[in-house]
Amino acid sequence: IPCKHVFCLSCGKREDKICPRCMEKVSRVEQTGLGTVFMCTHGGTRYGNAGCRRTYLSQRDLQ
């Protein structure tokens, strides 16, 4: 999902092609392995819903 929010594969491939978190248009969905996604928690908590929540496939990109 180009906005970099992460969801399970079935939610990412919803028919309406809209990100459920930010409502941006979804042009593609990438599948990745469990434990390979790094999530930004700026402005929120590690396990909460608030904050950035964008995801990256490497820790270097997160920083």
**Distant-in-sequence, close-in-space partners of 7: CB < 8 Å, separation ≥ 6:** 1, 20
Residues 50 and 38 in one domain: yes
Residues 39 and 53 in one domain: yes
Residues 45 and 25 in one domain: no
Q: What is the pTM of this model?
A: 0.55
Tell me what pLDDT residue 26 has.
Answer: 87
- Domain total of the chain: 2
Residues 20 and 36 in one domain: no
User: Which domain does 49 fall in, by range?
Assistant: 32-62
Q: In what helix (H) or strand (E) does residue 12 lie, and over which residues does it extend?
A: helix 9-12
Q: In this predicted model, what pLDDT tens digit does every residue of 40-57 receive, in sequence order? A: 888 877 777 777 878 777
- Report phi then psi at 55, rounded to 5: -120, 155
Q: In this predicted model, what pLDDT tens digit does every residue of 11-35 receive, in sequence order? A: 878 788 888 888 888 888 888 888 8
Contact 53, 41 (CB under 8 A): yes
Tell me what pLDDT residue 62 has.
Answer: 65
At residue 1 the predicted structure's pLDDT band, cuts being 50, 70 and 90, is: low
Considering only CA atoms, which of 15, 44, 26, 16 is closest in space to residue 6?
26
Contact 9, 29 (CB under 8 A): yes
Residues 1 and 27 in one domain: yes
